[in-house]
Structure 1
């Protein structure tokens, strides 16, 4: 009878005749076991570096200068101001108001987006008749030009619009988009409605990966539809929920078109101005790109913090 030899004790030298383990080449350590993948990813990587990474780094650079755009080849003085632009960002009432506005927007838009898109996707996933028609109907506003839809909303929500005629004496005065309190919430509801189709599709894709056996097991244990939704569906689509949270937050933080068109450039009195709209006004219209870049850097940092918190608490251990 043969006996199994015990493994060598820790710290002992390798047996005679066995070669030491060689480290993989430097190229393989850097590029991985399949370097050909980098060749296929290179076009998009170059695109990201040129379109996103370089402008971000350059924005950080010019945020420390009293920078302004000049004609090509012109020699102009652009003095270094250090943190002066950032000090102005945190003391400028217009900037603070813009961040408060986008905070109000996110508080309304992000929860509505997650809840409505998940509930509607769950409903669309369970029906059998008119499924394609309903999916297309929810997706049409997302792919429709914003200018066309905004024209319809301006018609519906102006002082003599259909909504105020239905509400009668309950209609707000001033009206929706010229009301300092209601302007940003109305924009948040509009953006939620317009972009809902995209997030419904994301949840529909995630629902296909939830095993049907889990629903059958829950039904066998006596769980109803509501219990199955909270015990099976919601945990099963958690990765999609994290993605929806991140996308909705990033989209809301980059809000520009809606306040620019719906409220005439951030009115009334800046109560619907977003940080990105303020960046445009300061950097392009008023010729202060260094100050505008500082606003952008602060916005990026805040979005990264919010995204990290969402991934930390909504994403769980994953």
Structure 2
């Protein structure tokens, strides 16, 4: 005969095990469509890459993955929805990117904790950034760029797609290392800034590769790229590492959900999105938009977000960045 209380302890143990079991044990996930929030207008590189992934992942999941565009607020409306309205059931997800990680450190009232207030699922890819000048201008190389900045303090202008973006912070860091004074000219979008350089409104652009068609068309010249290796598309452009900076800047992004998601659900989503990411069809989209692969599994992506949050907080303090 078991000792007194043994049966009660057994029942409690079984109940605890049931509570701890993944939601998958109560029913198949997913059993209805999944919503994936893309916080940019349709037609851009991230939108195209994530739409491709959604279509491919749906085949594995057996349910549609519906892309919902929510542009505005520097790409943070998706994060706002995840932290205030979405349930942590795996049916509402969103793109996680650098502006979401950075925002709590550059506003007066932080809207979320980028580490604790989300369930980070998978890291996907980034962008190819570079510095581009007018093809028929006086600057032909990175050495020329630095020389011009030193000869004309506060006169060399560079465009980006916004204040406190990844590329803006990178240029601030480079300028500080070199002891040069550059003038930042933010535009609403990367393609607008590339056109501004071609028309002579500004002297350079430091942004993702929306400038590529104008380089290939002969209007612009790329003097460096910020990827780990030279771009196959622009093999003559050196990387920042080759120029003496231990910097690789691709602004990688991934997919996250509301905090508190079931680990079993996260595993299913990670595996489906990883298969989609590695599919040749998605690789073709990334190649089209010069998007380097930046895959992180769930555990590594959480660690990446935590490290990046520390970096963004330090940079915000160093540069005294505030947008409100």
Normalising by the residue count of structure 1, what TM-score does the alignment of the two structures yield? 0.24
Which one has a larger percent helix, Structure 1 or Structure 2? 1
Q: Which has the larger Rg?
A: 1
Which one has a larger percent strand, Structure 1 or Structure 2? 2
Normalising by the residue count of structure 2, what TM-score does the alignment of the two structures yield? 0.23
